[in-house]
A and B are shown apart, each in its own frame.
Chain A
């Protein structure tokens, strides 16, 4: 569409034709920045001459939003989040969210938290929500996912794919488990895939947890540092044992929720039965151990590489 036609639209007093044409607009806003800047230019130009059409458009959008259930304060807040975004586009995106079955309040919270949501096209939104539905994160579950991770709509598909791939192929979670996991800990979407794998391996091999335990305890929402600190403290105290091949331990291990979910005070008082100052010292010592084993591991890798190179050279010599 030519910029000239576009500018003409802004001077048309009739609201309806404005709405009709505007429905086509939003894609162009995202895909063609030059059109957007042109819009801003036109608006600036018009400011002096015809204030009415712009405020009329705003009025239309405002009343639509209010019809959807947003109160006046929320509406004003929404409209000021991303000034570069056309109010009509904002309305379209909000409408999409509501079409997904979300209520105004959670939508308001999500959009306020991540204003870049407003820059999406309805096409992108539909594509993403369809994908999420395929993952099992449809209507009812979407609210929590959106709340925990609004970026789930703006993220690159490739990044989401990598996360799901790790969960499925490396960690061997079932499809249902993956759905439940992502529903409970939407933050997983944004985790680095290799860190995710490491966290899983720590849970499965080091702590002896089963897939179901990992999902139900929201294990992935905790940082690796916190997990290691609390688990290794309990282990060295003698209050946690990694189950043997038969899945047995000599002592009853504390419940996962009593290890990870509780506050540090409660963890120390009830699970570890230890003092804050001892735990503080332990954390410092553990930190240092981790640092040193990391630099140690990379040294070892270098040494092993050198050894392998030497061995290869020897083999070559023998062949000669």
Chain B
């Protein structure tokens, strides 16, 4: 083909790459000795087409197109700053606090006579704004307010659901076992319920990011007192380290970070060199969840969460960990039904209807949040 056409091809292929890669990571042809023929993000997509095509059937195309398109964010209001002003500002943008809306609905609807236990309460004091269904506007970047703290934290709104489901109550001791990069940790602190919060992550670099988040959002006296402890240890050891200690435990495990893996090349777990690591993930996840359960006080609660769509990393892990605790430790763990909880948030999020245990937010163009799987467990006294 004539040279001018080839030049055009390069331009077109650039357009095919739908994500702007940061300049320092961008592939520089004049310095590279080999071209990245099959990028990890492409391998990820192939992998998902195979497994999720089967797992989700007719639902897969709409999930797929959402994963490949720009995700939607929520603005978690920082209660340590001027939260009422911030809320007003966000309302002016025509965004709505979906937590508030859900809770209002809960108050209006009478509880079913059939439920033996009252529906679990959401963790309090969480305010998170989103634009309405089908509205693709973006929030302006967060800004420093008075008191030197940021006004809101932009995150996937679905990430708030595990924290809401955990149902913190004032005075709880809380463990966030895989805390980095810190969005859910921040949300736990926003509830104002943590008598003590232990935030841990194996990766020191990612724990560094968590520290930065706390620094920007949380007042010094809370950060530097006894209230918050940040560590970088192996989460699997927590059963031995701090067994039977915590009222509430969040186990937001490392996973294949499905959405992220389709867009970012750097450190992508679908790289061929990380295949073994990827295949070992479910085992690691079971170990972490087991450790989290062991670290819970008898009578306490655990929420397990991932940002993956995979059965193998979600329901299988929950069932595996419960079995492990029953067989090896004779500890009984009961899964809590979250269908009431799901109904509260149905208007904002799109839920997969057929999870065996737990709930799964699936991405949809009308509500491009998730994926987010979460399952609540009760360690029986």
Contacts and interface: CB of A to CB of B under 8 A. Distances in A.
A71 B221 CA distance: 94
Contact of B65 (A169, A236, A284, A293): A236
Contacts of A236: 64-65, 68-69
B65 A277 contact: no
A239 B18 CA distance: 18
B55 to A, nearest CB: 14
Contacts of A233: 65
A197 interface: yes
B62 A237 contact: yes
B4 A278 contact: no
A274 B62 contact: yes
B8 interface: yes
Interface of B is mostly: helix
A205 B1 CA distance: 12
A274 B20 CA distance: 27
Contacts of A205: 9, 12-13
A282 B365 contact: yes
Interface of A: 169-170, 172, 197-198, 201-202, 205-206, 233, 236-239, 273-274, 277-278, 280-282, 284-286, 288-289, 292-293, 296-297, 303
B15 A293 contact: yes
Contacts of B16: 206
Given A277-B366, A281-B134, A303-B23, A239 B61 contact: yes
Contact of A237 (B8, B23, B61): B61
B268 interface: no
Contacts of A172: 1-2, 5
Contacts, number: 75
Nearest to A239: B61
A169 B2 contact: yes
A282 B20 contact: no
Contacts of B69: 236, 282, 285-286
30 contacts: A170-B2, A170-B4, A170-B5, A172-B2, A197-B8, A201-B12, A202-B12, A205-B12, A236-B64, A236-B68, A236-B69, A237-B64, A238-B49, A238-B60, A238-B64, A277-B366, A278-B62, A278-B65, A278-B365, A281-B134, A281-B365, A281-B366, A282-B65, A282-B69, A284-B136, A288-B70, A289-B70, A293-B15, A293-B18, A293-B20
B14 A237 contact: no
B364 interface: yes
Contacts of B4: 170
B9 A289 contact: no
Contacts of B60: 238
Contacts of B18: 289, 293
Interface centre among B23, B53, B136, B366 (most CB of A within 10 A): B136
A169 B12 CA distance: 19
Nearest to A242: B16
Nearest to B1: A172
A201 B18 CA distance: 18
Contacts of A278: 62, 65, 364-366
Interface string B234-251: 000000000000000000
Given A170-B5, A288-B136, 12 more contacts: A172-B1, A197-B8, A236-B68, A238-B60, A238-B61, A278-B365, A281-B136, A284-B136, A285-B70, A285-B136, A286-B69, A293-B18
